[in-house]
């Protein structure tokens, strides 16, 4: 039986989008409370009833949170253009080597606006 499990985490960070026009509000320094959803897919081990321990997931996510939380995203290598799309891709690429079952990375910049990054699904 294949399932997807989800772990959510949040972080607060500031950014500026210098790629936007001068008049655009996103060009000014501002911050968000980002909500991130990490979705992993795998075969359930019938003996234990799951395929991945939520605790292991947290252990792999915590270093990412430390790099992002209360930071100015533009200063982080690889996040010079810190749109939600680019942040989602950055988090995905940081986690994937540690978490091969990672299938989807969702990042909510506001309660209403978010992106979904799932390169294996879109490449197929």
Residues forming the active site: 26, 70, 109
Give the separation between CA 32 and CA 9, rounded to whole angstroms: 14
Residue 15 is labelled as binding a ligand: yes
Residue tagged 């210098």 (tokens): 18
24 is in an annotated binding site: no
- The SS3 call for residue 49 is coil
d(CA 20, CA 34): 20
Q: What angle do CA 117, 119, 123 make, to 5 degrees?
A: 140
Report how far residue 38's alpha carbon sits from residue 64's, in angstroms, rounded to the nearest whole number: 12
> According to the annotation, is 71 in a ligand binding site?
no
SS3 77: coil
**Known binding positions for Zn(2+):** 15, 30, 32
**Known binding positions:** 15, 30, 32
């Amino acid at each position: 039986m294949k399932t997807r499990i989800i772990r959510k985490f949040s972080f607060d960070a500031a950014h500026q989008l210098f790629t936007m026009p001068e008049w655009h509000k996103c060009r000014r320094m501002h911050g968000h409370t980002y909500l991130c959803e990490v979705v992993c897919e795998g075969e359930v081990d019938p003996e234990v009833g799951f395929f991945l321990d939520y605790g292991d997931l947290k252990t792999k996510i915590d270093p990412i949170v430390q790099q992002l939380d209360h930071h100015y995203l533009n200063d982080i290598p690889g996040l010079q253009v810190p749109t939600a799309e680019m942040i989602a891709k950055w988090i995905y690429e940081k986690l994937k080597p540690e978490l091969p079952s990672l299938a989807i990375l969702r990042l909510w910049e506001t309660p209403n606006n978010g992106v979904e990054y799932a390169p294996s699904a879109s490449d197929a």
